[in-house]
């Protein structure tokens, strides 16, 4: 882990301190995409055998297995899932858009009508950790939005089955299409469709570098699916003053580091003494973790940046645009208005990132790799689109028509002008 004094760095060194690994640019999954497009389920079975070491029977999980999985959970686990579901639903239901109708001028009415997507492909990682939370963060907003067809793909375990908590969560979220496919081949199936897995119009969900590369590539094809967000390794930035609790700061850093060896972990603090406390805590807490082999590798490229004031913290945040921003400074709410670029913000010492990851109600599918400069995380509208509508009365066209004729002439588009002129001529003839 690097500890850097920010004011002692030149511009180039500061940019380097906030750089991210460019993992996706070196990954080519075109062969996988083409094979699945051409050979469908056969290719899916071949790649699952090759990459996961699993000989697939049925690709789709029997619907009855979902309820069986739910019934097998203990009451405490069921209660935890129900609480998370209730909070996620409450927050996302509040986002439901309404129809907008405006009279822009007399006789001219313009409207915007929300519509749910026809289908959504939901990719749920299930390799080193079966992400029940991701399934809920995707399936519940899709259902609330009114998406008619939700299709879940998730990689099988070595025994060829899907982890019980994932199937239980699918049952709780009322999604019955679950397929035992992971990796770039799953994205190809959702993009093109196979004999078993239906094609979807938009693909959601995080994954490894191969999944991210596949999503990026299929979304650039003509007629290809839309995707939720540009993706990179998961990341956190923690802002901490000397009054922050180093135990909490270190715990939040490790919570991010255990995701992936490429996870990006940065702490911006105010003093060397606090940086030392964080490092001591990281060492002590990491020794107790079951995934410390992953956290050790992630922390090897983590950074602690020491700055002189809160304004510099804000500048660094907006430059880096973190996926997760944890603010552990006095009066943390006071800087919120100045934070322009962040996927999700966690204010105050009693708000660990974990609550947003699981059950506060906000969505944990967030922009990474600096995409928070231009993208939001998943919201209800991610599963929706809008149709614009205009309706003119005869009097409205008489008023607006001449304006449109002039604009069409300015662009040299005669047919556009004629579509108006012929109607105005018809109106004039009926009045004579």
Q: Nearest-CA neighbor of 263 among 319, 208, 339?
A: 208
Distance CA 144, CA 151 (A): 15
Report the C-alpha gap between 311 and 268 in whole angstroms: 12
372, 366 Cβ separation under 8 angstroms: yes
Cite the DSSP H helix spans in 227-363: 246-257, 272-286, 292-299, 310-320, 353-358
Q: Is 323 a catalytic residue?
A: yes
70-79 LR contacts (CB < 8 Å, sep 24+): 70/167, 70/168, 70/171, 70/172, 72/164, 72/168, 73/164, 73/165, 73/168, 77/165, 77/168, 78/168
Angle at 361 between CA 358 and CA 362, to 5 degrees: 90
Q: Give CA torsion, residues 166, 168, 172, 174, to 10 deg.
A: 70
| Active-site residue, from 259, 324, 353, 364 | 324
Q: How far apart are CA 98 and CA 101, in angstroms?
A: 10
Measured CA to CA, the distance from residue 19 to residue 15 in angstroms comes to 6
Separation of alpha carbons 169 and 154, rounded Å: 13
Distance between CA atoms of residues 196 and 179, nearest Å: 9
**Degrees, nearest 5: CA angle 156-123-223:** 125
Helices (H), 173-271: 183-192, 209-219, 246-257
Among 323, 330, 364, 398, the one annotated catalytic? 323
Judge whether 364 counts as a catalytic residue.
Answer: no
Q: Which residues are catalytic?
A: 323-324
């Amino acid at each position: 882990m690097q500890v850097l004094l920010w004011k002692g760095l030149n511009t180039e060194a500061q940019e380097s301190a906030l750089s991210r690994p460019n993992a996706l640019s070196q990954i080519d999954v075109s062969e996988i995409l083409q094979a699945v497009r051409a050979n469908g389920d056969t290719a899916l079975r071949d790649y699952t055998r090759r990459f996961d070491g699993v000989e697939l029977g049925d690709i789709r999980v029997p619907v009855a297995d979902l309820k069986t999985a739910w019934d097998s959970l203990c009451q405490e686990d069921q209660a935890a899932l129900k609480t998370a579901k209730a909070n996620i639903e409450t927050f996302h239901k509040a986002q439901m858009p309404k129809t907008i109708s405006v009279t822009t001028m007399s006789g001219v009415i313009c409207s915007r009508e929300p519509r749910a997507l026809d289908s959504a492909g939901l990719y749920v990682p299930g390799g080193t950790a079966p992400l029940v939370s991701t399934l809920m963060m995707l399936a519940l907003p899709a259902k609330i939005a009114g998406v008619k067809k939700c299709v879940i793909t998730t990689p099988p375990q070595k025994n060829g089955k899907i982890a019980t908590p994932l199937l239980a969560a699918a049952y709780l979220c009322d999604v019955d299409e679950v397929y035992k496919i992971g990796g770039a081949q799953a994205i190809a199936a959702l993009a093109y469709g196979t004999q078993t897995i239906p094609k979807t119009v938009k693909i959601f969900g995080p994954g490894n570098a191969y999944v991210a590369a596949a999503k990026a590539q299929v979304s650039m094809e003509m007629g290809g699916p839309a995707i939720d967000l540009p993706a990179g390794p998961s990341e956190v930035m923690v802002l901490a003053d000397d009054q922050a609790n180093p135990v909490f700061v270190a715990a939040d850093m490790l919570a991010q580091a255990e995701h992936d060896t490429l996870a990006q972990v940065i702490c911006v603090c105010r003093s060397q003494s606090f940086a030392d406390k964080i490092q001591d805590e990281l060492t002590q807490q990491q020794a107790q973790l079951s995934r410390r082999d992953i956290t050790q590798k992630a922390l090897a490229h983590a950074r602690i940046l020491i700055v002189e004031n809160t304004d510099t913290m804000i500048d660094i945040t907006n430059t880096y645009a973190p996926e997760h921003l944890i603010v552990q400074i006095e009066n943390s709410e006071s800087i919120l208005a100045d934070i322009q670029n962040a996927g999700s913000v966690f204010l105050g010492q009693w708000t660990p990132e974990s609550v947003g990851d699981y059950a506060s109600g906000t969505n944990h599918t967030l922009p990474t790799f600096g995409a928070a400069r231009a993208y939001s995380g998943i919201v209800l509208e991610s599963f929706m689109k809008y149709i614009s509508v205009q309706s003119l009365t005869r009097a409205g066209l008489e008023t607006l028509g001449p304006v449109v004729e002039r604009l069409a002439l300015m662009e040299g588009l005669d047919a556009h002008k004629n579509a108006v002129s012929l109607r105005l001529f018809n109106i004039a003839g009926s009045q004579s």
